[in-house]
């Protein structure tokens, strides 16, 4: 399992479970400490070929989920 969190105390993260999995999971942490999937996305172009490409893909997915969350909150405020 590989995890991207911008900092150690983040309550959201991007996870790849490894193996044959072709999915990124955007997860948020519940009050009880458990993590749950808020969004899941297929790699699209296949598993990245190296660790730097994997990290970049995980960061991109995390950032896209952050943007979608901000847009969702803004639409609720209108």
HSE of 14, CA atoms in CB hemisphere, 13 A: 20
The pLDDT value recorded for residue 78 is: 66
Tens digit of pLDDT for each residue in 9-62? 999 999 999 888 889 999 999 999 999 999 999 987 777 888 999 999 999 999
* Number of domains forming the structure of the chain: 1
The pLDDT value recorded for residue 70 is: 84
Sign of CA dihedral 10, 11, 13, 19: positive
| First vs last C-alpha separation in the chain | 39
């Amino acid at each position: 399992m590989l995890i991207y969190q911008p900092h150690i105390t983040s309550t959201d993260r991007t996870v790849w479970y490894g193996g044959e999995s072709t999915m990124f999971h955007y997860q948020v942490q519940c009050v009880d400490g458990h993590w749950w999937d808020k969004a899941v996305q297929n790699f699209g172009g296949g598993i990245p070929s190296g660790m730097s490409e994997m990290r970049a893909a995980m960061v991109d997915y995390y950032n896209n989920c952050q943007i979608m969350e901000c847009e969702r909150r803004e639409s609720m405020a209108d």
